[in-house]
Chain A
Amino acid sequence: MSNNLDLKKGLNIPIKGEAAREVIKTVSADIVAVKPTDFNGLVPRLLVKEGDSVLAGSPVMADKMRPEILFTAPVSGTVAQIIRGEKRKLLAVLVKADGKQESVDFGAKAPATADQAKDLLLKTGLWGSLIQRPYGILANPEVTPKAIFVSSFSTAPLAADTDFTLGDSLLDIQAGVNALAKIAPVHFSVRKESYSSTPFHKVENVVSHLVSGKHPAGNVGVQISHIAPIQKGETVWTVSPMLVAAIGHVVNTGKLDLSRKVAVTGPAAEKPAYVCALPGTPVKDIVDVKGDVRVIGGNVLTGENLGADGYLGFFDDQITLLREGREREWFGWAKPFRPKVHSSSWCYFSWLTPGKQYDMDTNLHGGPRAFVETKCFEDVTPMDIYPIYLIKACLAGDIEKMEKFGIYEVLPEDLALCDYVDPSKNEIQAIIQKGIDLMIKEMA
């Protein structure tokens, strides 16, 4: 039995560089990083020291407040270096791989109860894959969520095609879902447009939803806000399908395997295709970065600027390469036609070329201004909220209004398109994150 959700609002950004559906290489990196910065709301406590040997699945760090939450190494090898930043903040633990990829044996056994399921997630280091809403933080093991949401697809620009990356992991996904379902009902959404070709509608033991629409229809937050809006005091968890498969893999084999197909995408990618890699793999092992190019872990809307010396993040199944757009275009805004620049606004003529994919770069295309045109936010936000009021409440730091206008339902990623379309070039995601940080501080 599935429920239909057809979303009308939204925008698919037509950017060049979609990954071809083939795996062109498997990266077995020499050095793999475990980064506490991948996990929102984590204060890490280090469990290893340089020279310790680890297996895939050996704990490397834990949450300081809740030491039962472990974070584990994705490879076997020895701890090579511990990188700290300002005020000795832990930035990364580098593990030198021994090439054997031996894993801790967690025992191939499906959890029978919620406690067993939680225990499995905690000790394997997969607890970190649970994101707690509201606020989008590391889940709290003491809380039982109202539901767990999994969106089997992403509508983000050039996102990895989960039908391709996870299509052959259906057994793992089913086992992962079964484990999660011990904790709370699992809601699983499938893309309506690809219903006939996707294997995901075969997943059982879930409340399934058929979702259609432009980006951000695939965002789990948008789906939650239509299926079961989060109220004050409620908690839901979300997990990416890739990590559900990783959970299922542990259940089925007893081994931790975080390797994934990573989509290398973007206009600056020489050959956009998939590579197999572990989280924490150095960027330079995955892609060749030439020239003034930005390496983004994730998609162009919400991804993190990893830098050419960075490491693939825990949640990343995509890398996007973008040219830095530092050149200054003469009379850019005044030209009647600007065929190289995309605009969703009808003030330009992009609507004449609906199928065109653009060679985008990181230029801001303007300067920061006060809010003027605000209907564009509503047009790309398929949620029952008034984005501009929520944004202004966040700017004002008004807790009561943020609650009223729906701060519990959103994460910055759900309003990422507002960043894109705003003619006043405001940093909407940063504003929402600031609001969320304030909520966490005040409501704690």
Chain B
Amino acid sequence: MAATAGGLDAVREFEASWRLLRTRKRWMTAGYGLLFAIALLVSAWVGEFDPVKLVQGLPRIHEYVAKTLPVLTLSNFWGDLAEWFYGLPRWLTLLWETILIAYIATLLGTIGALAMCFHAARNLALGKTSYWVTRRVFEVARTIPELVFALIFVFAFGIGPLAGILAIAIHSMGGSGKLFAEAVENIDMKPVDGLRATGANWVQTIRFAVLPQVLPNFTSFSLWRFEINVRSASIIGFVGAGGIGQEFYTAISRLYYEDISALIILMVFTVILIDMVCERIRHRLIGKEGFA
């Protein structure tokens, strides 16, 4: 009898605490929801997101896009196509230059990241100062957008691809450096201990115990970085730092409507092609599971 009463009490207690938990959870959800709604309203107000203006703008967007599309007639299809892509030889040269800018910037950025990432890894850092300094350098380099670096470098190195290359290189050094350091922090430390026991110095330890473990990851991160850098290289031309961006900027500001669509098609095609090739190589390097 007493046991049953105790059991009922337990059930009642359980239900009461469950109800309390549920109420608390509902209040929490309502609170976060309210916070989210306020943030949304403030954003809309500060961001001058006016639905009326948006609705008025929509037909103009449509108009603009329609203007950039060429007239392709069936009777003179190839002729129209040739007219649309009249600048193809020059554009292909510029695209090639854009890819080369991305290549050399990725190379420089990777070298920079490689040189510093072992200092920025907690398990291999030589001292607190070098760890702190390399971490901060990576953070600043990856937070400041490449276009801002490009603006400053155009002033220092003059208008042209060199400024763009250095801007993308610095930015990707920060991005790759962080990923590299994380990969180094996740290595198996046994080979490191083994090499240290043989009396190897820091550089030798890294060369023979760390590098063989992380090299496939590093290569695949760098390939991924290259894909990103091709995109970046296509816009740094907006501030005069080389590549196809300059041509695009001119087409937009001088209202060469049909050039705009032709250039976008070329850029998208290039980006997709490079992504596909790099993805193939990446999957071969580290297997599919590494990039869920």
**Co-complex (A, B):** no
Interface residues of B (CB under 8 A from A): none
Interface residues of A (CB under 8 A from B): none
